[in-house]
A and B are shown apart, each in its own frame.
Chain A
Amino acid sequence: GAVVSQHPSWVICKSGTSVKIECRSLDFQATTMFWYRQFPKQSLMLMATSNEGSKATYEQGVEKDKFLINHASLTLSTLTVTSAHPEDSSFYICSAYYYGDTQYFGPGTRLTVL
């Protein structure tokens, strides 16, 4: 079946550094991927829509210069958290449509910024 992977599964970094998170569709091509963040005991908040070969579409209130998204191929989208701060600590999840209306999610990346 469709599988979406993410790497790394968790990362700890110092404040001010940048962190890159990869999202891959393993057995299908995804022209569109989505990036979410989730704080503990809260719902998923859509951050941006990643479009292969073009600029990402960011949701209102999401800083595009802070959360850089690159969708360079049909199977890979990356999210880079630039100059990370403790308030960026969160669970980041990507997703993609495999068939019809079913969206498949990656296993998530837990980011902790010290």
Chain B
Amino acid sequence: GQSLEQPSEVTAVEGAIVQINCTYQTSGFYGLSWYQQHDGGAPTFLSYNALDGLEETGRFSSFLSRSDSYGYLLLQELQMKDSASYFCAVRDQSSASKIIFGSGTRLSIRP
């Protein structure tokens, strides 16, 4: 089967840097995505890694190591509005169009 593991909660200070890790197990791999979800809202796409390495989009970066089945989301210059849940996700092995989400990491930012 497929599984994705993330820390359930992370707390950080405003202005700091935080890293949210994700390890996955899947027999077929089509890339690792990251989504942000604020309370009561829908998930919004943040980043996607198909190949090893770092993808940078403003304050957010995402890294992938396929050999280690591991990726992380890096958030810099944290702002209070970054308090949200963050999900890593992979394409389903049986149907590449389906996305399987990790359990999510709740990020809390302290002033």
Please report A residues at the B interface, Cβ cutoff 8 Å: 32, 34, 41-44, 46, 49, 57, 93, 97, 101-108, 110
Q: Which residues of B contact A49 (CB under 8 A)?
A: 95, 97-98
Asked if B42 and A106 sit within 8 Å, CB to CB, the answer is yes
Whether A44 touches B33, Cβ cut-off 8 Å, given contacts A93-B42, A105-B42, A108-B41, is no
Which bucket holds chain B's interface residue count?
A: 20 to 34
Please report B residues at the A interface, Cβ cutoff 8 Å: 30-31, 33, 40-45, 48, 50, 87, 91, 95, 97-104, 106
Asked if A43 and B102 sit within 8 Å, CB to CB, the answer is yes
Whether A46 touches B98, Cβ cut-off 8 Å, given contacts A106-B42, A108-B42, is yes
Extra A-B contacts (8), CB below 8 Å, given A43-B104, A44-B87: A34-B98, A42-B103, A46-B98, A49-B97, A101-B33, A101-B50, A105-B44, A107-B42
Q: Which residues of B contact A46 (CB under 8 A)?
A: 98-100
> Nearest Cβ in chain B — how far from A30, in angstroms?
11
Main secondary structure of the interface of A (DSSP, over half): strand
Whether A44 touches B98, Cβ cut-off 8 Å, given contacts A102-B48, A107-B41, A107-B42, is no
**Cα distance A34–B48 when bound, in Å?**
19
